[in-house]
Structure 1
């Protein structure tokens, strides 16, 4: 049996911001309520942190928030009507604030957002949405897909990049192993994926969960077998393998070096 870890489906992590404007959701919208958000500021903060929320609404002092499947339109209002909404949108610029009419669609330029909604087997649902402004109304459109290609992948967060990690298992007899070059080639054949390993203890736990799922799904033989992971030291640790930083538990956990 051969076993590989590989990464695919590179996803750029985009920060989101809340943009507060005068408006009210279309009457056909279905709201959730958060009675613990006792001020508008707390309501906006709650929506910014709730992964399924894309709009908050101050409904006569009550905090209402909306999931993507429950809202399609927001009507623009005036300051005198004292109704406010907060849109969650992508923030691609950290150097300056945008300006223009009809935010978050500044000067009628489409606004965009992304939600990563937790799903089964650590493969979240990725909801990309666009907000268009026409004649006093903002309208949402949505495109949904799994963040990773299949449920045989799990989503990893590494710095400001999200990766989908999976395994390659072949039931060879007798049990064999990959050479490094063969491993790189095999990963590349999986839609241009790259060879990887566990970079910390949390990722090692995800690997263990993946293998448990594969066993339960019958993707690997229901028999006793041993799984041995080889690793390669970083360039720095090849030169000084016995330093404290190179001997930490996170470096060594789940990785064996010949």
Structure 2
């Protein structure tokens, strides 16, 4: 935290705490995922989150108003120059990671403090893990993830492959491609949960993957049994290592069995048309790579 003489232009939407001293106020803001500034105001702790931060008018020791900015600085070094925390008029920066999932999707905030005609101001860029109609995020150990949206039949109908593609596309998404171990665990659990809510309890769920035409008469070749034998519209599927097959990737009980589906907790190759498979396809899993959305800029 960098302390300066100054006074915020407004305390609108700020958080006021009259029960803690200044040192505790600084500690709370520093440890908060969203706080970027604290103000020692009339013996009250006034804290500002990144999205409610007020411009700060430069002051002096005469008025005694102290503001603390949370910014990134070299270890054990304080700013130099006339207008800290802008490091001799070089903009100061900070970074927040906010993860309250569920219910809110995680996001990053990269912010910049700058000095403009006697006033400190802040701009920030927000990067969302997921955005829009997605209702779930699968978070991976490497800090990447997958945003997921589910369509579920409300009657006794069935989704065919082309319809499923269009449904996902309508939400700026793709049919869900399963890659990571976390994907399979999540989709297996979600499939089991949702099948209890569908009219037909034994069902398929559409996922990404349709067999290339050239492989439909060459099922046993190594390439056709691998992801190279299937067209994927979304994520790159490099191997089937995590796939638990009902039989295997070359399954083709009928000539229409060319689309990957989930059944219970396994993967099968079944009919692309809705009426050519033993079970009804009443779930469609759509997805999009997390952290792939355009940044949001705020001044």
Q: In 2, distance between residues paired with 1:213 and 1:22?
A: 59
1:80-91 paired onto structure 2 within 5 Å: 80-91=62-73
2:115 corresponds to 1:136? no
2:11 corresponds to 1:32? no
Counterpart selection for 2:90 from 75, 92, 109: 109
Q: CA deviation at 1:145?
A: 4.4
The residue aligned with 1:66 is: 48
Q: CA deviation at 1:75?
A: 1.3
Q: Which has the higher contact order (CA 8 A, sep 6+)?
A: 1
Q: In 1, distance between residues paired with 2:140 and 2:66?
A: 34
1:79-228 paired onto structure 2 within 5 Å: 79-91=61-73, 93-94=74-75, 96-101=76-81, 102-115=83-96, 116=98, 118=100, 121-148=103-130, 151-154=134-137, 156=139, 158=141, 162-166=143-147, 195-198=179-182, 207=186, 211=190, 215=194, 223-224=200-201
- 3-state SS of paired residue (1:80): coil
Cα distance change, pair 62–121 in 1 and its aligned pair in 2 (3 A): closer
Q: In 1, distance between residues paired with 2:129 and 2:187?
A: 20
Q: CA deviation at 1:54?
A: 1.3
Counterpart selection for 2:6 from 19, 23, 37: 23
Q: CA deviation at 1:131?
A: 1.3
Cα distance change, pair 163–222 in 1 and its aligned pair in 2 (3 A): farther
Is contact 1:119-1:125 (8 Å) kept? no
Q: TM-score, normalised by structure 1?
A: 0.54
Q: CA deviation at 1:225?
A: 5.5
Q: In 1, distance between residues paired with 2:189 and 2:91?
A: 39
Q: In 2, distance between residues paired with 1:54 and 1:48?
A: 8
Is contact 1:155-1:162 (8 Å) kept? no
Is contact 2:9-2:55 (8 Å) kept? yes
* Uncovered stretches (5+) of structure 2, i.e. residues with no partner: 152-157, 161-173, 205-239, 243-265, 267-299
Q: TM-score, normalised by structure 2?
A: 0.48
Is contact 2:6-2:57 (8 Å) kept? yes
1:225-236 paired onto structure 2 within 5 Å: none
| More helix by percentage | 1
The residue aligned with 1:52 is: 34
Larger of the two Rg values belongs to structure: 2
Is contact 2:100-2:106 (8 Å) kept? yes
Is contact 2:138-2:182 (8 Å) kept? no
Cα distance change, pair 97–168 in 1 and its aligned pair in 2 (3 A): same
